A and B are shown apart, each in its own frame.
Chain A
């Protein structure tokens, strides 16, 4: 694997680390299996791309992507909490609706961001090559997000959110309005995924309506690889696990695709993904079985 390929994998891994954190919030903290991310990721990309190409500041574009993602999360939470639609189904409904919405936002299937000002532009002039700048900038953003989310989950409000996911009956008995926490949690989770989409569009130079397919699997892979490696006992470790898991997962894919001897090609990506996630899921079970014996 060349240095550029390596750093490219790290960069994309860091972008998807935000998806991993969003998926962690929904699946692990709220116990809400949420497939909205397949729609909110390209939504974030589409919103950012359209705003940036219209000449508006890229940070504003990122903020708009976060808000758009959060709105998508709220729709799923609303369908589930207000009308009692099964969480999985509610999220699938939002997801497929977003496909059309994303096409509407962009007005066509993809938007290029070549020669546009992005959040990365100010850093290109500092003397580092582009393939160093991109992962570094994304790393800083991811670090800030990890700190903010960890701090949030350790607050009284965040603690109530965790209780909502673990034992909703107990949470209500302690005066926690569980519905409020599901709304807020889903908004934050998909807001982060929207931000990931915005960063994806800016680091890769395009937004495409099909980039959302399989986002949930990649996010889950990050969470599961992180859990398998770290066996986290605290929130901070779990969040760092999502980040490391996401990067390692990308590196593994990059390695599998670039090892000529294996004979894989780019179109095998989804197969490799599925196999890697399956391995990450099976490993802890094997370990558990050994511990029992």
Chain B
């Protein structure tokens, strides 16, 4: 579960470039809920995820994960509760390490890293099993460098890594935006599968309204650092992209400057 209360994030405070990225976000994602987050550029979607993950420290407000206040914790300290997949496929793994070394890093997330061998027989078997399930034929390439894989393969592996160790929360930051359509579809399917299997509370930021409505069971729209729309259940099931745009205009009482970012 994630509980965000009165969250404010200001970049470059006190400078001419001061920018309020989040201006008082209140938001609760219940246990095992899968929430898609949309909004135009600069709406605060990525900032919200970064604040929950600990990359950005808020000026005001409170963040709780599974009942624990993590607002002031550095990224590494709260990583045991949070699994992430970044937008950039290169960001979520170490190119110069092998596939199995990356998986071992993820497997130890949230636990103490000791001086035992990182890659033993049991772990390697487990990795091979997990990669076989993935169906990309990577189970025979455990000792290959991560850098040899395509962006899509790396992103799929990032998802596997995210579910390697237990987490309370899964954060997906436009994780299919940099992929070609076929690979994006594959990663989205995989996302549905792992979220259903693990029942982890999930926040998925996306640029695509279609994706936002197709994935998960609740959709939240951010605009200028605030939650302006929050739909779930039957109301959401009957929505299509046109409705969403219409609702957005009604709430804001104005035209969206940049329609292209909201429509497919």
Contact = CB atoms under 8 A, between A and B. Distances in A.
Question: Number of contact residues on B: which range applies?
Answer: 20 to 34
Nearest to B115: A155
A275 interface: no
The majority secondary structure among interface residues of chain B is loop
Given A156-B113, A163-B97, A170 B92 contact: yes
Nearest to A160: B113
Given A155-B117, A156-B116, A163 B94 contact: yes
Interface residues of A, number: 24
A178 interface: yes
Contacts of A154: 117-119
A156 B104 CA distance: 8
Given A163-B94, A166-B97, A173 B118 contact: no
Most buried by A among B53, B105, B114, B118: B105
Given A172-B75, A174-B105, A177-B76, A155 B93 contact: no
B60 interface: no
B101 A174 contact: no
Contacts of A167: 91, 93-95
Contacts of A170: 91-94
B106 interface: yes
A162 interface: yes
A152 B117 CA distance: 8
B76 A172 contact: yes
B175 interface: no
A163 B95 CA distance: 10
Contacts of A174: 79, 105-106, 108-109, 161
Interface in B45-94: 53, 55, 74-77, 79-80, 82, 84, 86, 91-94
B185 to A, nearest CB: 25
Interface string A131-163: 000000000000000000001101111111011
Contacts of B115: 152, 155-158
A232 to B, nearest CB: 11
7 contacts: A155-B113, A166-B95, A167-B94, A172-B76, A174-B106, A174-B108, A233-B145
Interface of A: 151-152, 154-160, 162-163, 166-167, 169-178, 233
